[in-house]
Structures are given as structure tokens and as C-alpha cells.
Amino acid sequence: MVTGFRHPIKGCPTVSADLQQAYAGCLQLAHSHYENFPVASRLMPAHLRPHVAAIYAFARIADDYADEPGRAVGERLHLLDQWRARLHDDRAPQDVFLAVHDTVTRFDLPLSLLDDLLSAFTQDVTTARYATWADVLDYCRRSANPVGRLVLRLSGYRDDALDRASDAVCTALQLTNFWQDLAIDWSRGRLYVPEEAWRPHAAEPSVLDGGRMTAAWAAAMRDCGERTRALFADGRAVCDGVSGRLRYELRATWLGGTRMLERLERSGFDVFTARPRLGAADAIVIAWGTALWRATPPSRTHS
């Protein structure tokens, strides 16, 4: 684990003014999107927050390039190609990449994980529908799973079992977000529910234009919810396999994701009537659940 690195925003003499400014900009961006990003959480170790923020800023800006509706497809793809080129150019000047390259170097992070994120953002520009679960899960492998693996590596963990558990949780969180944003994504021409999930229930996508959750779509979404819940269960062990503040951060994240999934299930996934959100009362329940967390029993089977 990397140790002895003070918070770069607090005047560390070994960090240049330009680098401190770069990290400060990343932290500001992360704090401005606090609803979707936990870097501001007190549970996150203070010495890691700037580095997590650097990764977040890198991904946030790239994601905005992919999603910006005012830009033509070709222009969005060009911006993402430029962003990838800057990732692989150690001489990339100023701003976000000064912090990103410093974080990658300090923690020996695999650039392939950041490349995977860019691959997923590029896919969002070019792909609006998915035929199979394998297609959706492959997207999650690149859009969500790298974040969990990067956080583990920033915290000093390089363990295959932890990686697999983290992947399951990150995929479950991504899927939960897809189900939560079904109406929003459909209004933008995207559908992450694979044909393999809706076709058996005769839940034709065209009926979503009516802005209501039909019985057929509710049935399809229940199947999606069950698959998502199984992934949360598969990944729960990562919350017990780490130590320190990260353990509590991951427990809170897991509880928040499963609570959102429960809310979707209780509403019959009717996100057209109201998009569910977690509020202050949920935060109290999650904090209580984090404090009373019971570790996952060890498996009785061996591979």
C-alpha cells in the first residue's frame, strides 16, 4: 500500500503548486456531484480523497463528452479519442491529467482500467440497445467494475477474490441505476434492458413511449431486479474483505444500492410515475445498517 503521502491540497512541500491546483479542481468537481459520488464522505480516508477525485474527474468529463446532446456523434467520438490520447501521454499539460498521471504513478494503477471506462463511454455514443444479458454485463464490466478495482488498488488491495466480489457489487449498482433511470434513458433513445429480458414477456419497447409501466414491462423488470439482487449477494463479501474506513464506505454503498433496488421493487419499477431517490431518512437507515452490519459467513464450498 502507498503510505506517507499527505493530502496534496494542504501544502505538502513535495507537491508543486500546479499539482495541488489540479487536485483541488478534481475535488471541486467531485463535491459538486456529491449525489452520485462518495468522495466527500468522511468514511473515505482523507489521504485517498484527492486521488479518487482525480479518477472521478477523468471519468466525469469523458462521460459528459459522450452524453452531451448538443454535439454531433462524430464530434463526441473525436473528443473521447483525444481524451484517451491524453491519458497515454505523460506530457499532457495542466488540469485533470496532471492529477490523473500523478495518481496513476503513485499507486501503479493499470491504465487498462481507465481505458475500459473510455471504451464504455464510447459505446454509449454508438450503441442504444442490447440484445443479451452478456452484452449488458460486458458494458458494466467496462463502465462500472473498473471503478471498484481502482478504489481497491488505491487502498492497497490486489486480490483476485476481492476483485470478483467488487465486480459483482459494481455491476449490481450499475444495473440498479439503469432500472432507476429507465424513463430518462428511454427519453434519450437508450434502453439498457436487454431484449433477452423483455422479449419473453412480450414487453415491446415501443409501448414505453406512452410513459407508463405496463404489466408486461413490470414482469420483465422484476426479472431484472432478481438478477441484480443476486449480484449484490455475490459481491457482499468485499465489504468484509477490506479494513479501516474503506470497509464502512463499501458497506454503506452496498446498503444504499440494495435499498434503492428495494424501493424500485416496491414501486413495481414504475419510474415513469416517479423516479425513486434516497433521502435523509434513508441515510439514517443506511448509517444504522452500516454500524450493525453482520459479516458474510465464510463459504462452505471450495472451487
Average pLDDT over residues 239-257: 93
What are the tens digits of pLDDT across the range 41-53?
Answer: 556 778 888 999 9
CA pseudo-torsion sign 89, 95, 99, 100: negative
pLDDT at 122: 97
Q: Of 184 and 9, which is predicted with more confidence?
A: 184
- Please state, for a pLDDT cut of 70, what percent of the chain lies above it: 87
Residues 6+ apart with CB under 8 A from 293: 239, 251
Instruction: Say if residue 1's pLDDT is above 60.
Output: no
Distance CA 166, CA 237 (A): 8
Q: Of 83 and 294, which is predicted with more confidence?
A: 83
Q: Of 34 and 16, which is predicted with more confidence?
A: 16
pLDDT at 210: 94
- Of the pLDDT bands very low, low, confident and very high (cuts 50, 70, 90), residue 10 is very low
pLDDT at 90: 74
Residues of the chain with CATH 1.10.600.10: 129-294
What are the tens digits of pLDDT across the range 105-163?
Answer: 999 999 999 999 999 999 999 999 999 999 999 999 999 999 999 999 999 999 999 99
Fold topology of 129-294? Farnesyl Diphosphate Synthase (1.10.600)
Instruction: Say if residue 67's pLDDT is above 50.
Output: yes
Average pLDDT over residues 85-89: 92
Q: Of 9 and 24, which is predicted with more confidence?
A: 24
What are the tens digits of pLDDT across the range 152-178?
Answer: 999 999 999 999 999 999 999 999 999
Average pLDDT over residues 38-65: 82
pLDDT at 14: 60
Average pLDDT over residues 7-13: 47
Three state DSSP letters for the chain:
CCCCCCCCCCCCCCCCHHHHHHHHHHHHHHHHCHHHCHHHCCCCCCCCHHHHHHHHHHHHHHHHHHHCCCCCHHHHHHHHHHHHHHHCCCCCCCHHHHHHHHHHHHHCCCHHHHHHHHHHHHHHHHCCCCCCHHHHHHHHHHHCHHHHHHHHHHCCCCCHHHHHHHHHHHHHHHHHHHHHCHHHHHHCCCCCCCHHHHHHHCCCHHHHHHCCCCHHHHHHHHHHHHHHHHHHHHHHHHHCCCCHHHHHHHHHHHHHHHHHHHHHHHCCCCCCCCCCCCCHHHHHHHHHHHHCCCCCCCCCCCC
Distance CA 51, CA 22 (A): 11
Q: CB–CB of 257/173 below 8 Å?
A: yes
